[in-house]
Amino acid sequence: MIALPLAPLWILEYLGAFIVLILTCLSLRLSRRLVDQDPENALWLFLNWLAIAFLLFSISHLISHVLHDLIAYWNHPQLALLQRVFGGFDTVIYVVIAAITLFFHRIQRLYRRMEADHHHLEETSHEILALNREMEALVMERTMSEMALGMAHGIRNPLHVIGGFSHRLLRKTDEDDPSRAWATAIAEEARRIEQMVERFETLAMRKTSFFAQEDLNLIVGNTLELLFPELKAKNISLVAELCHEPLMGRFNKHLMKVALAHLVRNAVEATPRGGTVLVRTAKEKQFAVLTLQDTGRGMPQEVVEKVFVPFYTTKIGGTGLGMVFVRQIVDEHRGVITLESQVGRGTTVTIRLPHRFTDSPEVGDEVPPAAPPAAPAAPSTPEAGSGQD
Amino acid sequence: MRRWIAQICPAVFVLVLLSPQCVLAQWVTWHQFGTQGSYVHQTAHLLLFLSMLFFIHEIYYAHLQKFRGFRLLVWTWALLALWNLDAFVGHWADWTLENPIILGQGWDRHLLMYDFHTWVVYFTKIDHSLLLIPAFLMFYLGLKALVRKPGAE
């Protein structure tokens, strides 16, 4: 029968335990450096905790095995209590390492979710920025167009008066009258200014490139088509009641889609599974009316009042800018958005858009009223005379 | 698969802990350990073994194995998982070895290999050292690679 020496076994065991102790010390130093490089990295924190646990393990493991060998092979039964203590500590360390590792398993999931949320937030931020730029460009261009049209309109009326009076003066002035040349010059210059105004007006009209003649029904239809999978995924019924006749107007298709998509997504989020989202378009005098109704949880009055307040949100992780942009988009179309909600019954959003934004009464007010040619103002230059027909 | 593992593992754990000693416990001869501590210690080894596997799974799930540092850490965890199994068997063999025959005195002591059980005790003690050193070496090298360049492939 073979008898194998125990000494190599002990040497290997203690040498191994000692090397492990050194390696865990070095590892702890490295893990500290990782944490120092990026203190908020969950992975580095985990590795650091693990390195600490490994160091404790290597110490405890070395001691408990020495004690075990002393008791089993060197006849030191008095060390049994101490061995149990260190054996118990060993067990605790194993559980701690397992707990840290399993905890990391969950933390890693959370970390990945946080990263995904971060990317999503970045994307949203870029989208908002792009949308904002587009809105700014749109507002600037439209304001310029309106100003140009308003100015052209305002210049043309006095110009008509100047031109009309100068022609009358020409008719009433004798051929040999020296002031006839002045009246001719006034008439010609007035015609030149009129031509310039016409060109200016034509250019200003072309400046409405951000808006195009679009059918609201088509915009709504296309948007709903894009969002349909989201509604289907939540088992929400979509009822689309689109107006039978085309709802033509000067709309920015892209912005309208953004606004509608946001409203539909809000409705989907608020509506429980099996609920209904109704989208309706209709014609109402000079307005195209878009109604979006859901059977969701609704909102109390105090929330409804703050819906369009920037950065106000009831959603975790929400930016509080979505509805603000929606209202801005509607405003840029010279439209009006209203929101009605009842807790437990749902929310109804109504958007009224004029067929042409220049039809809006606000725009009309900005344009100077045209002076009737029959009531001309008195000429301001002393040379022009002061006669009336 | 993961769901299945998540349901089965706790079930086995609870079954082992709550089973009558004459059935499952006898199968692994734990009843001879005699102390509650031995049960807890062995269970801790199993738990550690499972957590090592979870970590390897997590590394692959997060596609971190493409980095050298994490590849080395996967080796650490794989070796530690093996060491846990070895330790589980080694403890069982060691704690259940009755009346080992030791010849000689001091450092010249010899263990008489009179049955398979004694061989298991002897070799699991060697494996014990042979697995732990490379495991911690890999852990050190893995961390070193991560410190140098966390994203190095």
Which residue of chain B comes nearest to A6, CA vs CA? B110
Q: What is the mean pLDDT of residues A118-122?
A: 84
Nearest to A6 among B41, B48, B111 (CB): B111
Q: What is the mean pLDDT of residues A33-57?
A: 88
- pLDDT of A247 over the 90 cut: no
Report the distance separating Cα A125 and Cα A338, nearest Å. 26
Q: Between A199 and A288, where is the model more confident? A: A288
Q: How confident is the model at residue A114 (pLDDT cuts 50, 70, 90)?
A: confident
Residues A7-39 have pLDDT tens digits of 888 888 888 889 999 999 999 999 999 999 888
**Cβ–Cβ contact A116 with B under 8 A:** no
Contacts of A30 in chain B (CB under 8 A): 140, 143-144, 146-147
Examine residue B140 and state whether it is found in any structural domain, yes or no. Answer: yes
- pLDDT of B20 over the 60 cut: no
Contact A61, A17 (CB under 8 A): yes
Asked whether the beta carbons of residue A13 and residue B55 sit closer than 8 angstroms, the reply is: no
Examine residue B30 and state whether it is found in any structural domain, yes or no. Answer: no
- Which amino acid appears at position A247 of this protein? L
Examine residue B29 and state whether it is found in any structural domain, yes or no. Answer: no
- pLDDT of B150 over the 70 cut: no
Q: How confident is the model at residue B31 (pLDDT cuts 50, 70, 90)?
A: very low
Contact A82, A60 (CB under 8 A): no
Report the distance separating Cα A237 and Cα A293, nearest Å. 12
Q: What is the mean pLDDT of residues A84-107?
A: 83
Residue B104 confidence (pLDDT): 81
| Distance in Å, alpha carbon of A38 to nearest chain B alpha carbon | 11
Examine residue B120 and state whether it is found in any structural domain, yes or no. Answer: yes
**Cβ–Cβ contact A21 with B under 8 A:** no
For chain A, the structural domain boundaries read 7-124, 131-210, 212-364
Residue A371 confidence (pLDDT): 36
Percent above pLDDT 90 for chain A: 10
Q: Between A260 and A250, where is the model more confident? A: A260
Range A28-42 burial, b when 16+ CB lie within 10 A, else e:
bebbbebbeeeeeee
Among residues 66-125 of chain B, which lie with CB inside 8 Å of chain A? 94, 100, 102-103, 107-114, 122, 125
Q: Between A337 and B16, where is the model more confident? A: A337
Contacts of A99 in chain B (CB under 8 A): 51
Among residues 248-277 of chain A, which lie with CB inside 8 Å of chain B? none
Which residue of chain A comes nearest to B146, CA vs CA? A34
Asked whether the beta carbons of residue B111 and residue A112 sit closer than 8 angstroms, the reply is: no
Asked: is A212-364 a CATH 1.10.240.10 domain? The reply is no
- pLDDT of A106 over the 80 cut: no
**Cβ–Cβ contact B39 with A under 8 A:** no
Residues B68-107 have pLDDT tens digits of 899 999 999 999 999 999 989 988 888 888 777 888 887 7
Examine residue B33 and state whether it is found in any structural domain, yes or no. Answer: no
**Cβ–Cβ contact A104 with B under 8 A:** yes
Nearest to A112 among B62, B112, B136 (CB): B62
| Distance in Å, alpha carbon of B11 to nearest chain A alpha carbon | 17
Asked whether the beta carbons of residue A73 and residue B102 sit closer than 8 angstroms, the reply is: yes
Which residue of chain A comes nearest to B144, CA vs CA? A30
SS3 string of chain A? CCEEECHHHHHHHHHHHHHHHHHHHHHHHHHHHHHHHCCCCHHHHHHHHHHHHHHHHHHHHHHHHHHHHHHHHCCCHHHHHHHHHHHHHHHHHHHHHHHHHHHHHHHHHHHHHHHHHHHHHHHHHHHHHHHHHHHHHHHHHHHHHHHHHHHHHHHHHHHHHHHHHHHHHHHHCCCCCCHHHHHHHHHHHHHHHHHHHHHHHHHHHHCCCCCEEEEHHHHHHHHHHHHHHHHHHCCCEEEEECCCCCCEEEECHHHHHHHHHHHHHHHHHHCCCCCEEEEEEEEECCEEEEEEEECCCCCCHHHHHHCCCCCCCCCCCCCCCHHHHHHHHHHHCCCEEEEEEECCCEEEEEEEEECCHHHCHHHHHHCCCCCCCCCCCCCCCHHHCCCCC
Range of the domain at B66: 51-148
Q: What is the mean pLDDT of residues A141-165?
A: 80
Residue A187 confidence (pLDDT): 86
Residue A273 confidence (pLDDT): 87
**Cβ–Cβ contact A1 with B under 8 A:** yes
Of the candidate ranges A123-132, B3-12, B128-137, the one whose mean pLDDT is the lowest: B3-12
**Cβ–Cβ contact A88 with B under 8 A:** yes
pTM: 0.53
Percent above pLDDT 70 for chain B: 73
| Number of domains present in the structure of chain B | 1
**Cβ–Cβ contact A30 with B under 8 A:** yes
Complex confidence, ipTM: 0.75
**Cβ–Cβ contact A205 with B under 8 A:** no
Examine residue B110 and state whether it is found in any structural domain, yes or no. Answer: yes
- pLDDT of A158 over the 90 cut: no
| Distance in Å, alpha carbon of B66 to nearest chain A alpha carbon | 16
Asked whether the beta carbons of residue B136 and residue A24 sit closer than 8 angstroms, the reply is: yes
Examine residue B123 and state whether it is found in any structural domain, yes or no. Answer: yes
Which residue of chain B comes nearest to A62, CA vs CA? B129
| Distance in Å, alpha carbon of B44 to nearest chain A alpha carbon | 6
Of the candidate ranges A96-110, A184-198, A239-253, the one whose mean pLDDT is the lowest: A96-110
Nearest to A34 among B48, B50, B146 (CB): B146
Percent above pLDDT 90 for chain B: 20
Mutate which of B132, B137, B141, B149 to disrupt the A interface (most A C-beta within 10 Å)?
B132
